[in-house]
Amino acid sequence: MEDKQRYFLRKENKLKSRKQIDAVFSRGKSFSVFPFKVIWLPANEKAALQAGVGVSSRNFKRAVDRNRIKRLMREAYRLQKHELEQSLQAAQQNLSVFVLYTGRELPEYELVFEKFTTILNRLIKITDATKNQVDS
């Protein structure tokens, strides 16, 4: 059969530069999948897909809780992002995504995993739609 799918999440796949993040926030479009808010921008100079996660320190005062949520989000993203990558490759597009947690309570891992499935599906739909626009 085919090779086993690898689930990397390296430095190159993360949205790290302050400039890039500011660009995503100022020019990107967004949608919500409670308790998450997704901001995306169909452009990226450095890689095909870069993603970042964030938690407001207004809702979570302690750094321990913020770290926990960000770790859960990264884990859920890491295990499910390969489909989005394939679809991007097919559409020949680059994408920057930033996911914010807007809830006020500590989430369970199962919930985060589920919600990320729907988030990634919507992103795939969006890329397919833009692809069709380009084609037509």
Q: Measured from the CB atom, is 4 or 135 closer to RNA?
A: 4
Which among 13-21, 34-42, 83-91, 119-127 is the span making contact with RNA, rule CB under 7 A? 13-21
Minimum CB distance to RNA, residue 132 (Å):
31
Distance of CA 7 to the CA centre of its chain: 15
Cis check for the bond before 42: say yes or no (omega within 30 of 0): no
Among 15, 41, 69, 97, binds RNA (CB under 7 A): 15
How far is the C-alpha of 65 from the C-alpha of 88, rounded, in Å?
A: 33
The secondary structure of the chain in percent helix, strand, coil, rounded to multiples of 5, reads: 50, 20, 30
Q: Which H or E run contains 103?
A: none
Minimum CB distance to RNA, residue 65 (Å):
7
**Contacts with RNA: how many residues (CB under 7 A)?**
32
Residue 47 binds to RNA (criterion: CB under 7 A) = no
Assigned token pair, 83: 């489909």
Among 14, 37, 122, 131, binds RNA (CB under 7 A): 14
Q: Measured from the CB atom, is 103 or 131 closer to RNA?
A: 103
How far is the C-alpha of 51 from the C-alpha of 29, rounded, in Å?
A: 14
How far is the C-alpha of 91 from the C-alpha of 87, rounded, in Å?
A: 6
Near RNA in 48-107, by CB under 7 A: 52-54, 62-65, 67-68, 70-72, 74-75, 78-79
Assigned token pair, 109: 């891992």
* Contacting residues toward RNA, per CB under 7 A: 4, 6-11, 14-19, 21-22, 52-54, 62-65, 67-68, 70-72, 74-75, 78-79, 109
